[in-house]
Each structure stands twice: as C-alpha cells, then as structure tokens.
A and B are shown apart, each in its own frame.
Chain A
C-alpha cells in the first residue's frame, strides 16, 4: 500500500471532518487548522495505516483542558517534546509514530502539529473515534489497559508525570492540575505496541474524518439537505429553528444544557441534551439517538457545524445523527460512553436498523 501523506490541501477536509466527529464538542477547529497550516509550511506529514508500521510503539498525544484557553494561548512550539521525552525516559521506548488521543475536534488536528514538531508520522487511528471529554473515556481505558505513565506539560518546562494510576485517578489529577498550566497542556500517554492497535484503538479515524470532510465540503447552499446528509452517512433528525437553549450550571463536572428545535414543517419538537458534546436526542419526547453515536447541529444554509458552546436560539438548523465508532458499541466498552456516563439515566440507543 502506498504511503499516504497529509498536506496543506487536506487541512480543510480534516478540519471539517474532525469537527463533525466532535458531536458538537472538541473545540473550534478553525484556529487549530490555521496553526497546522503554519506548522506544515508547505510540507507534509506521513499518515500511516497500522499495517504500514512494521512494529514498535506509537505514543498517544494531544492536548487536555479547555479548548477556549487553547484558542487564546496557542502553542508556541516545543510543547510536545518535553512530555514525549518524559514518557520515553520512563518507559525506555522510542516511538515509531504518534497516535491522536481524540480524532474529534481540535485534537484531530493538534496531533499533526505535534508530528511536525517531533518529526514523527501519524497513525490513522485514535483513542476515541470522536470527541469525548474525559481521559477515562479513552479506548485504552475501556479495554482495561493503563493510560499511565502519562505526562502533561507546556513549552515553559512545567511538567507533570503520573504513573501507576487508574484512568479515573489520572483524569481527576490532570483536571485539577490544569489551572496551573494555564487551562490547557500538551499530553502524552503510555506508548502502545503497534501489533495491539486494532484491539486498543479505533482504526481509520482520520480516513473517516477526511472522507466526512470531503463530503461536507461539497455541501452547497442549494443542495437537498437529505442528499447531503445521506452522503455523510447520516440521517436527519430535524430541520427547523432553535427555539430554546438552556444551560444548567452544574455544581460539579461540566455544565449541562438542552437545545430545543422546532421543525418548520409540522411543529415536531426535537430536544438535544448536551454537556461538552450533544449526547441525547428526543423527538417529541421519544429518545431516538444517544452517545456513543454522533449528533451534529449544522447551520441550515451554510451547513457549518454549530457547537454546543455557540448554539443560540433563533438559528435555523439541521440536526444530524451519525453512527458512532463501532468500538464503543462493544458490550465491554459501551458503558464508559453511554448516556449514564454523563448522568443521563437512559440506555444507549443504537441507530435504527443497526444491531
């Protein structure tokens, strides 16, 4: 198989695709895309399938923290070298490539920024297959493997390394440490053996993102939304106007919220429950789709995705339901990303017709 590269012409599709996989979360990708464009400076990054890598280990990298903070204080270069060095030092492993911790949103782009910085190829796989808010929601954790040793750090030399901690403990410690890093930090996790990637990771995430991005780029003003949705492999939940957005400020965890969309045609009411991502959809009170499947809200005319942070009353939108990564539908994995993992007391709802 010929080696694939990701170059500047692919960035637009990459940004669109990772945004869709964000399910309304994962952060605004436009800034990250500009950053990547500048980092590449006309160059390109190898995007390897797991089969292309003969052996050895790959290191999961990305950022953790508030994406808004990331946008305000962009990487200045040199964020990933210290955390990668820490992991290499700790494990004695020299990586054959990088793997994204999260393909949805900003992290789907940041992995390439890190690859430029570190001079390593990127594997066409990730640990989430979409956007998810927590470290313990990594595929590696779902199959019972440790995330540690992990390291977070920044270009200024601040560094935190954790080892022999459960994913939940790592999540708690990292989350509470982030303020000391200015809201976000570069992260590197325990290296993964290449031969186990098909068990530990979600393969083909970037192929999917680039495919979605290409189809999405073809979404024109005059296109029939149904055909456009079908080309994305999605189904339309509703086409209508956002009539109410409620954000509940939770005492703990991330803020929850609800978006209510009224169908223009027959007054059908669609309610989306959201945290960092859109998590659950109800049509006229009947639950019809939920995490781990992907829910997107797009501007009805431009087709541009509208994130949970920016959705506002009055917007004319199309809400889409995309199948989530099959990995998360595995019985041993599904509980980690099911609605109950987000405090929504309901079983996950498989896509109709799916098994």
Chain B
C-alpha cells in the first residue's frame, strides 16, 4: 500500500522521531520525501522535499553565519527542512537571527535532542518503508503481551510503553475505565470496527475488543497519537488489534475463575438464605474462608439487572463500581443480579443508611453504561440470621424497585408501608396473572366496574361513600355491585371473597398505573 508521504509535522509526531521545531510551528505541513546527511561546510546536493540532517557540527556552528548560509542553500534546493543537534558542542543554540531567517525563507529547522545519525536512520527507514517500523512495533507488542496473562489495564500500560503514547482501556460506550482519556467526538461506540480518527491534526486510534457473538464491543483499546503519519497510525491500529487478543485471553481465563468461584458462592449462598449457616458448622467455616462476614450488623442490598444480561461477565464491573464508592461489601451472584451486604459492629443509624442509598444511586448510574438495574435495600439485622433476613428484604425491595422509576429504581425496605409490601408479595408472577384473570370478566363490561369495586372495597363496603367518591348516584353503585357479583359469581358479603377481590384490584390497578 502506497501512501502520500508524511508531512514534517506528522513525521516528528512519531515517537522515535521527536524533534523540536526551532524556527516556529509554521511550515511544518510539507511533505517529506527522504532524508539526506549533509556536512556543515559541504555544498552537496539535497533533493527537493528531503530533510537535510547535519549530524556533526563544529563548535560555534549553530551561532555562526555558516548556519545561515546552509539555510539559504537548502532553501535554494527546496529542501523540506534542516535538522541539527539541539545544542552545539559548547551548549550553544541558534541565534534569533537564524530562526528569523528560517522563518523568512520558510525552511524549518528541527532540533534533535538524541543522536542525530540514529534519528536520520530511523527517519529514512520510516519514510521509505514504514512497514518495517510497523513490524518492529508488532514484534515488541508480541514480546510484551504473550509471556503472561495481563489485565486490560496492564495491557494498556505495556502498550503505552511500547508506543510511547497514552493507551487506555475504555468501556463499551467509550468512557475510560481507569486513567483519564478522551476520545474525539467522531468516535462511534456502536460501530465495532477499528477507527482511526484525526481531529485538528491529532490522531486517535480506537480498536474494539469483540465481546458477545452479536458483535458489540465489550471494551475498547485506544491510543492518542497526536500529530501522526498515517502509516504510523495504521501500525498502531495493528498493534492494538493484536492487543485485543491478549485482553480476550485475560477475559476468558478470568471467566473460568469467576464461574468456579460463583458455583462455590452459589452453594454457600443457598445455605445462607435457608438459614443453614449456623456458627460452628462446616458451611459457616467455608463462608469465613472465602471472606464472608457473618457476625455483626448486616445491611444487604440487591442489584437486579433489567433485561438480558450476562451476569458473570459483569461481576467484576459491579464489584469495581461498588469499590469505587469505598463500600466494603461481599458480592454474590443471585438470580437476576447480585446481592451484597455490608457489615458493621454497631447497629447502622439513619445517617449511614442515607449515605448508603446515595452511594447505591451513584453505583446505578455508574453501571448504566453496561445495563440498567434496580436496587433494593434491606434493613439492618444482626448476625447470620439477621443477614438472611436483610437479604430477603433486599430481594423484595429490588422487585419493587423494578417498577418504580420515580424513586430512581432504588427502594429501601424501611421506606415501604406493610400494605405495599403485602401488595408487593401479591405482585409475584404467581399471583398477578391470577388476579388479572379473576377480574377479567369485568374488563369488557360497560361502566367502570373494576374502579367501582376497588373504591367500594377501599371505602370499607359503604355504597354511599363509593357514590360520593366516584361522583355517581348511589343506585348506580348498587346496580354495578350487583352486576359484579353476577359476573364474578362472588358474594361481596363474604369476607374471603372481599379479601381476594381487594388484593386483585390493588394488583391490577397498580399494574395499570405503572407500578
């Protein structure tokens, strides 16, 4: 693949070709076609578009008229630039007049701080065969990433060293995970392909780490190159793509570990929920071994993922999101999400639970880039039995929280009335369809029979109050009640029937109004 030759600005953006423009920032956007070595006193030929590198300079050269004469000669030969050591043998630098002359003649002067011959060799190799440079970087990446398992952050760190440019791991939507890193506005997280983005002359390369078979990106690896030759940007893309293999390897290995741990935790957790973790038992001991805290006061919460979510794939992220809030918890996968609990010596007071709620709300937002979730919080209870209880409360609260966007899908069991709790229990998958079925015959009938029934039961069986609330005549209410009894074949004077109908009304109406 042949490219347009790199510009001077791009060339010195390559980490191995860093050079200081000594005559200002202008005139750097010209093509470089080659590198030629010159002698300070030489009047040899330099081709148009070449950088003339003066690798060895006598003392005083940088401040002498000779430099001006060289600048003039290179200008006449239409060279791309003059490159000289940044400092002369005596530590002297360019005169202001020489910088001005370079600007006046539009012949940039580059100051090379390292060994100029090495710079010239690297530059010539890069200009003439960028593939060699790319292969060298790939080889170094291969050496760094293959011998051992590296976390995505460690992969990014290793690449930062190899590329001499910031490399970061970003979440599926492009937000940086650990270090701060900004992707340009042109970045598209929904296109899981390598993206080379150049904004204002600064190039960023972003490469997706393939995740699920659906083709979405699990993570992104990105490198900010600054001004960079296009061949170098493509080399970086190849290096990053290679690095995604290392990240995937880490993910796969980690997954195996997580699943093994998850099985163990699930077993213990089942024991815990069923109250079998008595102190002194072997299960209790194993729980202690994996770091579960069972003594003291516990406050449990449950994070329920909404929608189809691969729980194990996100366990690390959930743990990290909680850890970021400085909350010390034990996290266990459970059903539709993760249960966790905090443990303290003393009974948690109002302030602590308020802080916990605020933290959980932030955790929910933090996880929003991955999946939406509902969080329920239990009350504080002591010891193993209390933990079981708090976990149960958290689970129930989470179920309630699912249907409560107005509370930010975060519900604390303390803030719930017992009646709501009852309703919540009644709202389970087993009861709710039954309730709907029970009232179904009323749905297709004229007159708002379900509302009338509900109001009547709420009003304690007073037809007069019902009529007042609904704004209809009490005979109308009586007629509707009569029809309800007929349609449902129930007796509203029977307390059992009333109880069943009241619950069914509440569940049905709550559902319809969005609870």
Contacts and interface: CB of A to CB of B under 8 A. Distances in A.
A131 to B, nearest CB: 21
Contacts of B64: 258
B96 interface: yes
B334 interface: no
B470 interface: no
B398 to A, nearest CB: 75
Contacts of A346: 69
Chain B interface SS verdict (over half): helix
Nearest to B92: A248
B100 A260 contact: yes
Contacts of B75: 284-285
Contacts of A280: 65
Given A246-B95, A258-B95, A282 B100 contact: no
B101 A244 contact: no
B69 A284 contact: no
Interface in A278-300: 280, 282, 284-287
Contacts, number: 60
A244 B105 contact: no
A287 B70 CA distance: 11
Interface string A97-120: 000000000000000000000000
A243 interface: yes
A110 B63 CA distance: 37
A269 interface: yes
A269 B71 CA distance: 12
Contacts of B461: none
Contact of B68 (A243, A285, A344): A285
A258 B98 CA distance: 11
Given A268-B104, A271-B65, A345-B66, A285 B60 contact: no
A190 interface: no
A260 B95 contact: yes
Contact of A282 (B60, B68, B95, B96): B68
Contact of B100 (A269, A286, A345): A269
Contact of A284 (B41, B70, B72): B72
Interface in A325-355: 344-346
Nearest to A344: B65
A142 to B, nearest CB: 26
Interface residues of A, number: 21
B82 to A, nearest CB: 11
Contacts of A258: 63-65, 95, 97
A248 B75 CA distance: 27
Contacts of A271: 65, 68, 97, 101
Interface string A254-269: 0000101010000111
A273 interface: yes
B73 interface: yes
Nearest to B41: A345
A244 B68 CA distance: 14
Nearest to B70: A285
Nearest to B100: A269
Nearest to B72: A285
Contacts of A268: 104
Given A267-B104, A285-B69, 16 more contacts: A243-B96, A244-B96, A258-B64, A258-B97, A262-B100, A269-B68, A269-B97, A269-B104, A271-B97, A282-B65, A282-B69, A285-B68, A285-B72, A285-B73, A286-B72, A344-B65
20 contacts: A243-B100, A244-B95, A244-B96, A246-B95, A246-B97, A248-B60, A258-B95, A269-B100, A271-B68, A280-B65, A282-B68, A282-B72, A284-B101, A285-B69, A285-B72, A285-B75, A285-B105, A286-B72, A344-B65, A346-B69
